[in-house]
Amino acid sequence: MSRFMDVHHGMTGITADQLKQAHQADLDIEKDEGVHFEKAWADPESGTIYCLSEAPSAEAVQRVHERAGHPADEVHAVPLAV
């Protein structure tokens, strides 16, 4: 499995509860695509959300987000970490 960081824009003013609900929506269906969402971060001021996942492909990550109702604007492979 590969690791991915995806980015959502336009979520200005998102609350911690809304972020938690969106993350849970992903978790509820992630197994259908063989994805595991590890963590999500948000900047309510800029409206940017970041999600870290392990998945077989960027397309699988996007399919989960689309089904959960919040498609990602960007999905990036992150093959290196320190």
Using CB atoms within 10 A of its CB, is residue 26 exposed (0-12), middle (13-18) or buried (19+)?
buried
CB count, 10 Å around CB of 74?
12
CB of 73 within 8 A of CB of 44?
A: no
pLDDT tens for the chain, residues 1 to 82: 999 999 999 999 999 999 999 999 999 999 999 999 999 999 999 999 999 999 999 999 999 999 999 999 999 999 999 9
pTM of the model: 0.94
Q: Which residues contact 38 (CB under 8 A, 6 or more apart)?
A: 52, 53, 54
CA angle centred on 27, ends 19 and 15, rounded to 5°: 5
